[in-house]
C-alpha cells in the first residue's frame, strides 16, 4: 500500500495542479485572441496553480511523507522560486500587448492599471507585494536570525494570507476564471490551507505541552532541531 501511495501521490498532485488547470483553461480559450496572449495566460494560470500546489508539497501533507522530506523540500524550493519568478512579471505581462499593438502606450497602461483602486486590482497589488515578501524571507532565512520553527510559522501564515488574496484576485479579475475554474481554485486552495492550519494547530498544541513539561525538542550535534536538519538537507 505504501509503495502504491508513494508511486501515485505525486502523479495525482500533477493531475490537480497541471492537467486539470490546462483542461479548464482550454474551455475558456477566448476566440480572436492572439496566440501569444493565450500562451501568457496559460503560463500565468499554471504558475499560480504550482503555488497552490506548494501547500501539498510540505510536511503538513501526510501523503508526501512517504518520500524523503529533504527531497520534497528541495522540490518545494525549486517550484517556489521558479514560478514566483514568472508571477513577478505578471503585472508587466498584462500590459505587454500595449507595447506590441497600436493604441495606449505601455507606460500609460501600467499607470492606469496600478491606479485603478477597484477590489480586484488592490487584491492583486497586495498579493504581489506579499509574494515578494515571501521570496525575501525565504532567501534571507539565515540572515533573519529567527529560529527555524518561528520562520516556518511566519512563512506558512504569510503564504496562507497570500494565497487567499491571490485566489480572490484571480476569481475577481481572471479572464479565464469561469464558474468551474473558480470552484476548482477554491477547492485546491481551501484544501491546502486546511492541511496547513491542521498542522499549525497541532504544532501549537505540541509546543504548548512541551513548554508546560519543560521538554525540549531533540537537537543534533550542531544545535539544530531535527526538522531544521531535514529541511536544510
Partner 1 sequence: MAIDQINGCIGCGICVQACPTDVIRIEEESGKAVIRYPEDCQICHLCRMNCPVDAITITPEKSIPVIVAWG
Cβ(110)–Cβ(91) under 8 Å? yes
Q: Does 7 bind partner 1 (CB under 8 A)?
A: no
Q: Does 147 bind partner 1 (CB under 8 A)?
A: no
CB of 166 to partner 1, least distance (A): 15
Is the Cβ of residue 38 or residue 203 nearer to partner 1 in the bound state?
38
Cβ(145)–Cβ(23) under 8 Å? no
CB of 131 to partner 1, least distance (A): 19
The 152-181 contact track toward partner 1, x by CB under 8 A, reads: ---------------------xxxx-----
Cell 479579475 belongs to which residue?
Answer: 173
Q: What is d(CA 125, CA 168) in angstroms, rounded to the nearest whole number?
A: 12
Backbone angles phi, psi at 135, to 5 degrees: -65, -45
Cβ(2)–Cβ(66) under 8 Å? yes
Q: Does 22 bind partner 1 (CB under 8 A)?
A: no
The 110-129 contact track toward partner 1, x by CB under 8 A, reads: x-xx--x-xxxx--------
Question: In angstroms, how far is the first alpha carbon of the chain from the final one?
Answer: 27
Q: What is d(CA 201, CA 193) in angstroms, rounded to the nearest whole number?
A: 12
- For partner 1 (CB under 8 A), the number of binding residues is 27
Q: Which residues bind partner 1 (CB under 8 A)?
A: 30-33, 37, 94-95, 97-98, 101-104, 108-110, 112-113, 116, 118-121, 173-176
Amino acid at each position: 500500500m505504501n509503495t502504491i501511495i508513494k508511486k501515485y501521490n505525486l502523479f495525482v498532485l500533477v493531475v490537480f495542479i497541471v492537467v486539470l488547470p490546462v483542461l479548464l483553461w482550454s474551455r475558456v480559450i477566448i476566440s480572436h485572441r492572439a496566440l501569444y496572449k493565450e500562451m501568457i495566460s496559460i503560463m500565468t494560470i499554471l504558475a499560480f496553480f504550482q503555488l497552490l500546489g506548494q501547500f501539498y508539497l510540505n510536511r503538513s501533507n501526510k501523503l508526501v511523507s512517504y518520500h524523503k522530506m529533504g527531497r520534497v523540500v528541495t522540490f518545494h524550493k525549486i517550484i517556489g522560486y521558479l514560478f514566483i519568478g514568472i508571477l513577478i512579471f505578471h503585472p508587466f505581462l498584462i500590459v505587454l500587448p500595449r507595447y506590441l499593438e497600436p493604441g495606449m502606450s505601455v507606460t500609460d497602461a501600467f499607470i492606469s492599471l496600478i491606479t485603478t483602486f477597484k477590489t480586484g486590482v488592490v487584491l492583486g497589488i497586495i498579493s504581489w507585494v506579499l509574494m515578494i515578501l515571501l521570496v525575501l524571507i525565504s532567501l534571507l532565512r539565515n540572515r533573519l536570525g529567527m529560529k527555524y520553527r518561528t520562520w516556518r510559522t511566519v512563512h506558512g501564515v504569510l503564504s496562507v494570507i497570500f494565497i487567499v488574496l491571490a485566489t480572490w484576485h484571480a476569481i475577481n479579475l481572471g479572464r479565464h476564471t469561469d464558474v468551474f475554474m473558480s470552484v476548482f481554485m477554491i477547492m485546491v486552495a481551501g484544501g491546502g490551507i486546511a492541511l496547513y492550519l491542521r498542522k499549525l494547530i497541532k504544532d501549537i498544541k505540541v509546543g504548548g505541552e512541551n513548554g508546560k513539561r519543560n521538554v525540549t525538542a531533540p537537537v543534533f550535534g550542531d544545535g539544530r532541531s531535527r526538522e531544521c536538519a531535514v529541511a536544510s538537507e
